[in-house]
């Protein structure tokens, strides 16, 4: 578990906040805790601060726990949130978990002993959720990559066959001794050049071998491996963009 946990606590009872901090520091001395007495103050902090764990008391001066939970979840989705309720309020805690809370703590006689354990469980549970989410994303990306490979092969076949027919007919027309019109010959020559250019691109696409993903700060990026020179990068960009739009 991360040693330098950054915890945001929203608790309007100063005594309970001190108990919470002491309990956390005893188990995780390197953890840091920011205390807020209202939900509004905490929501403002989300614009500049990032937390590893968020703990929300259910009864606050400006929000109920469920209201604040909803507002926080609208801002962040990947941080564990623990709801703190009074003793005998387990039903409220269950409702909070259905609304997006990761876990809950009741202010019972074992309150201070429970805090570190629940924090650890919530943190580990959220890490497991994020890990499973990444695995699911990789699985989806693998399907996308498979689709790209199939699409590339199919596109090459579907373009190349009619292209060969076009090139053959253009060649026959240009070799026809009865064709004397210079402007027509120029247009046929232009068609031939463009057909050769398309053929070159389809050949490059045919040499695209495998596809993979690379993690970047903005998310996974599709990458198509190749065996031809760097000019094929333009082809890769077109294929990846087309695949993204189709999905």
Q: Is 188 in the same domain as 104? A: no
pLDDT band per the 50, 70, 90 thresholds, residue 198? confident
DSSP string, 134-201: HHHHHHHHHHHHHHHHHHHHHHHHHHHHHHHHHHHHHHHHHH-TT---HHHHHHHHHHHHHHHHHHHH
- What's 238's domain CATH number? 1.10.287
CA nearest neighbour of 10 among 40, 32, 52, 47: 40
The pLDDT tens digits of the residues spanning 86-126 come to: 867 778 878 888 888 999 998 888 889 999 999 999 988 88
Cα 115-119-124 angle, rounded to 5 deg: 155
Tokens for 210, please give them: 């495998």
Q: Which domain holds residue 26?
A: 6-108
**How many Å apart are CA 212 and CA 222, to the nearest integer?**
6
Q: Is 90 in the same domain as 167? A: no
Q: Is 101 in the same domain as 194? A: no
The pLDDT tens digits of the residues spanning 217-230 come to: 555 555 555 544 44
- Helical H segments across the chain, by residue range: 14-27, 39-45, 65-75, 90-98, 111-175, 182-206, 233-246
The pLDDT tens digits of the residues spanning 153-172 come to: 677 777 777 888 888 888 88
For residue 102, the SS3 value is coil
Judge whether 68 and 39 are in contact, CB under 8 Å. yes
pTM over 0.85: no
Q: Is 78 in the same domain as 144? A: no
């Amino acid at each position: 578990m991360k040693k330098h946990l950054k915890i945001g606590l929203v608790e309007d009872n100063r005594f309970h906040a001190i108990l919470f901090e002491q309990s956390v520091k005893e188990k995780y001395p390197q953890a840091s805790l920011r205390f807020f007495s209202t939900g509004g103050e905490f929501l403002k902090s989300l614009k500049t601060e990032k937390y590893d764990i968020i703990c929300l008391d259910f009864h606050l001066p400006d929000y109920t726990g469920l209201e604040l939970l909803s507002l926080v979840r609208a801002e962040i989705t990947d941080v564990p949130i623990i709801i703190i309720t009074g003793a005998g309020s387990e039903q409220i805690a269950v409702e909070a978990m259905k609304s997006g809370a990761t876990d809950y703590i009741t202010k019972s006689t074992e309150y201070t002993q429970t805090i570190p354990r629940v924090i650890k469980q919530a943190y580990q549970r959220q890490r497991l959720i994020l890990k499973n989410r990444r695995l699911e994303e990789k699985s989806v990306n693998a399907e996308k990559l498979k689709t790209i490979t199939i699409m590339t092969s199919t596109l090459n076949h579907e373009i190349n066959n009619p292209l060969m027919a076009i090139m053959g007919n253009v060649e026959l027309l240009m070799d026809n001794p009865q064709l004397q019109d210079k402007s027509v010959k120029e247009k046929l020559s232009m068609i031939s050049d463009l057909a050769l250019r398309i053929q070159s691109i389809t050949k490059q696409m045919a040499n695209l071998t495998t596809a993979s993903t690379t993690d970047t700060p903005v998310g996974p990026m599709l990458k198509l491996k190749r065996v031809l020179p760097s000019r094929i990068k333009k082809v890769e960009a077109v294929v990846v963009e087309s695949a993204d739009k189709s999905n």
